[in-house]
Structure 1
Amino acid sequence: MDNSTTTYEKIGGDAAVALLCDRFYEFMASVPQFSELRSMHPEDLQGSRDKLYMFLSGWFGGPDLFVEKFGHPRLRGRHMPFAIGVKERDQWVACMVLAMESVGIEEGIRAKLLENFFNTADFMRNKEG
């Protein structure tokens, strides 16, 4: 693929982003090692899933659904009410790694996304430890 192809297109567009988000929250809800991460979310994960889906759609180069509905993501500000440290960051990233693997995102794309996800999740940290 040429360099003008977006990540959104490379991974399979809307259906792939939706499936990635579904799997992310399925793993979060079912894998015991993600219990601290899960406890930071409401009982019903649908709203969280929908926001991640809208955000990732635009972040991957597809329709900018989150911005259209909510405005600028202001990720750090939106996550400030939650105590996010190294453990929470690492759980989020590990959960996303499982989700990316489970939906079959190609290894090269997955590696670059992992780097970007880690950097973004690290930026969300607002507590020691």
Structure 2
Amino acid sequence: MSEAVQEITMFERLGGVAVIDRLVEAFYDRMDRLPEAEGIRAMHPDDLAPIRQVLKRYLTEWTGGPALYTPEKGHPRLRQRHLGFPIGDAERDAWLLCMRGALDETVADAAAREAIYATLAKLADWMRNTAGNPHDAGHRPGA
């Protein structure tokens, strides 16, 4: 008789809610203190507490944990929500620098850490919205 194999979610691989909480805290702590992150830090309010909670809920749900984000905020529409902020290569790189350090600090499972970083790097690329970005509404291949 075959037994059903239960797939482990990325949320579980990362370490659950406790690790997501530490990850987000480490991420925003880096944003507050790294000179390379000054530009993206300036895009945020002085008080990061509310946005820390939003990112915790988003990452929990996005990685396969409990649905904490969509019941409150609806569909993430990340790119649309960030269109008011100029995001180019420098902003993407600063965000990824903060996230890489936070992942290295908080996620023990190296394979999970690399998998989530690779996915977040693709997302960060997609979030770029300044001139020259292939995702710009005004960009037409061959134009």
The question of a shared fold, defined as TM-score above 0.5 by the shorter chain, is answered with yes
Shift of 1:59: 0.7
Show structure 1 runs of 4+ deviating over 4 A: none
> Taking structure 2 as the reference length, what is the TM-score of the superposition?
0.85
> 2:137 maps to what in 1?
none
Distance 1:3 1:112 in 2: 19
Pick the structure with more helix per residue.
Answer: 1
Equivalent of residue 70 in structure 1, options 70, 73, 77: 73
Per-residue CA deviations over 1:22-67 (Å, capped at 9, x if unaligned) read 1100010011111111111110011111111110001110012110
> Do the aligned residues in 2 keep the contact of 1:23 with 1:99 (CA within 8 Å)?
yes
Match of 1:33 in 2: 36
Distance in structure 1 (CA, Å) of the matches to 2:30 and 2:45: 15
Q: Is the 8 A contact 1:8 1:60 kept in 2?
A: yes
Is residue 86 of structure 2 the alignment partner of residue 83 of structure 1? yes
Amino acid at match of 1:89: R
Aligned residues: 128
Q: 2:108 aligns with which of 105, 109, 116?
A: 105
C-alpha displacement at 1:84, in angstroms? 0.4
Which residue of 1 is the match for residue 12 of structure 2?
Answer: 9
CA distance in 2, matches of 1:108, 1:83: 32
SS in 1 for 2:69: helix
Structure 2 alignment gaps of length 5 or more = 133-143
8 Å CA contact retained: 2:61, 2:67: yes
Asked if the contact 1:85–1:127 (Cα under 8 Å) also holds between the matched residues in 2, the reply is yes
Preserved CA contact (<8 Å) 2:40 2:94: yes
Percent of aligned pairs sharing the same letter: 38
Which residues of structure 1 form unaligned runs of 5+? none
Asked which structure has the greater CA Rg, the reply is 2
CA distance in 2, matches of 1:105, 1:31: 23
Query: Normalising to structure 1: TM-score of the pair?
Result: 0.94
